[in-house]
Structure 1
Amino acid sequence: MARSPQADSSLYAKLDPTYFSDDRVLLNLLNDEHLYVPSFNYFNTFQTDLQPFMRKVVTTWMLEVCEEQMCEDQVLPLAINYMDRFLCACNIKRQQLQMLGATCLLLASKVRSSSHLPIDLLCAYTDYSVTHEHISSWELLVLSKLKWNLASITAFDYVDQIISRHPWGVHQDLLRRHAHTLIAVFYTETNSIQTPPSLIAAACITSAYRGLKLPVPLIVTVDICASTGVEQSMLENLVQFVDQIVEGAVVQTPEPRATQDKYVTSGEFESPTYGQPETPTEVDNVYF
């Protein structure tokens, strides 16, 4: 299977202590995040041919593409944010939803990755149901509907801002990986459409911390609420929902990649055929 360039190992800059200790950064994120949250649920009032389960199917496919290509963690939530904002502005047919998802992955990888997902590769992942020309033309359509405003704030942007500000952030690497996994899964849920990214990040960090059975979970909850301005009752409700997502998934140890995926060869790329993604009920057993 040909991989995109970001599937190769990359070098990452160390966290800048100035950036993550300046309260103005976190304050600006909190002040501006409402600009990138859809103002309404487009399934109820705008989209005439789409149903919530269709979004779940396509966003799960987007998650699988990102996992297979080892995309950077910020690509998926950004791509889904583009898709939700676009669907608030343009009524489409159900047959166009996967093409929209592929286009949003292309744009998000250009904005938040060192190397973007090739269009031909995205076409392969759709089993060539869309063409290079389709995605290229839809790229301009999505950009126009988003008014070229691609600097969206997502839950990913809050994770390091929250973790690095507190003593319990000593578990930073492990906690970050689990929180990013939960954020990616949560963004595939319809409930994420109008949920502020600060609340998503707060809930996923809290759920990850508790799932890892790290010490002083009550203090962590208080600290997260203080950092984000989230009410504790809202946080607990969303944490419960995140836990339900994990508990409701099928428990199964992933098979080796060589036997788990089946590929259909066509031209330069092979198109993978996926099964339903599986998430262990215990966060300790999540495979990264």
Structure 2
Amino acid sequence: MDLACTEKITAPTYAPKDPNIFNDFRVMKHLLSDEVLYTPHTNYFQHVQTDIQPFMRKVVATWMLEVCEEQMCEDQILPLAVNLMDRFLCVCVIKRQQLQLLGATCLLIASKVRSTNILPIDLLCAYTDYSVTSEMLVSWELLVLSKLKWNIAAITGFDYIDQIIERCSWGGESSLLRRHAHTLVSICYTEPSLVQTPPSAIAAACICSAVRGLKLSSSNAATRDVCSMVSIESETLEVLVTIVDNAVDKVVPKTPEKPPKAVEGFESPQYPQPETPTEVENIYF
């Protein structure tokens, strides 16, 4: 008996969207009520960490984004990994030299939770230019899990994108809307100023920014519907949309600027250096 599998899979196949999920109001209700459990509860730059500055977090988060881009990880990996990193930094003091190790560890954990393909430990070590060893990653994985009390299935901005788009009549106006919104969510999770922003607000701002960037005719309706759906004031939403747009401007290729002055004792990621993510170059703003 020949049991060989001869089918050829040329692209990943995803399960179709379940309309029952998007038609059930309880899904959004539970997301909104539970997201507070996974939102960093303090400004750890001021009240917890003594050796970590916002720009250092920006550098490491951008490095994490590039690792995900290089390895073509699912969109949900980066937001979860950065969420784990932020929550860990709220409860455990570390040195600046350990920040990239923490980022790599959170990528490892996030890939185990939400990816079909786990990021190999050896690969993550290579991306740190071997400044991190496999033994360090394994030990820090247990440290992060214990500090977070194994509560790692966090709600992120990614989880709201489909929920909002699929529930609105304008959601199908452009096939690019979902892709752009996911890309903007990833960019937002590299921004230190948004650390304590609820994931629902991040998703709302990213969707509205994507709608306006694509110049869809339903821009006003989208703003109204999103505000109602995630219970956010229009003024607050506009502020967040401005932050999102400014974040995109920072990563879109421009004329080379003078590199910032290095801070003594902080080793920025060496492999690879931050560049513009591939997906960002495809956003038509």
TM-score (norm 1): 0.86
Amino acid at match of 2:272: T
1:166-177 matches, within 5 Å, as: 166-171=168-173, 173-177=175-179
How much identity, in percent, do the aligned residues show? 62
The match for 1:201 is 203
Is the Cα contact below 8 Å between 1:206 and 1:220 reproduced in 2? Answer: yes
Q: Give the unaligned 5+ runs of structure 1.
A: 1-7, 254-270
Amino acid at match of 1:161: Q
Is the Cα contact below 8 Å between 1:252 and 1:278 reproduced in 2? Answer: no
Amino acid at match of 2:185: I
How far is the alpha carbon of 1:192 from its aligned partner? Answer: 1.9
The match for 1:113 is 115
What is the CA–CA distance in structure 2 between the aligned matches of 1:278 and 1:76, rounded to whole Å? 13
Is the Cα contact below 8 Å between 1:202 and 1:225 reproduced in 2? Answer: yes
1:231 to 225, 230, 233: 233
Partner SS state of residue 92, structure 2: coil
Is the Cα contact below 8 Å between 1:246 and 1:281 reproduced in 2? Answer: no
Q: Give the unaligned 5+ runs of structure 2.
A: 1-9, 256-269
1:218 to 220, 226, 233: 220
Greater relative contact order (Cα < 8 A, sep 6+): 2
Is the Cα contact below 8 Å between 1:47 and 1:91 reproduced in 2? Answer: yes
What is the CA–CA distance in structure 1 between the aligned matches of 2:251 and 2:281, rounded to whole Å? 6
What is the CA–CA distance in structure 2 between the aligned matches of 1:76 and 1:91, rounded to whole Å? 22
What is the CA–CA distance in structure 1 between the aligned matches of 2:282 and 2:182, rounded to whole Å? 16
What is the CA–CA distance in structure 1 between the aligned matches of 2:271 and 2:48, rounded to whole Å? 33
Partner SS state of residue 214, structure 1: coil
How far is the alpha carbon of 1:249 from its aligned partner? Answer: 3.5
Is the Cα contact below 8 Å between 2:44 and 2:90 reproduced in 1? Answer: yes
1:3-152 matches, within 5 Å, as: 9-152=11-154
How far is the alpha carbon of 1:240 from its aligned partner? Answer: 1.0
The match for 1:283 is 283
Is the Cα contact below 8 Å between 1:163 and 1:172 reproduced in 2? Answer: no
What is the CA–CA distance in structure 2 between the aligned matches of 1:39 and 1:220, rounded to whole Å? 29
What is the RMSD of the two structures over their aligned residues, measured on CA atoms? 1.9
Structure 1 residues 212-267: Cα deviation after superposition (integer angstroms, max 9, x where no partner): 011121111001111111111100110011111222444359xxxxxxxxxxxxxx
Q: Does 1:274 align with 2:278?
A: no
What is the CA–CA distance in structure 2 between the aligned matches of 1:100 and 1:275, rounded to whole Å? 17
What is the CA–CA distance in structure 2 between the aligned matches of 1:123 and 1:47, rounded to whole Å? 25
Cα separation, partners in 2 of 1:24 and 1:250, compared to 1, 3 Å: closer
TM-score (norm 2): 0.87
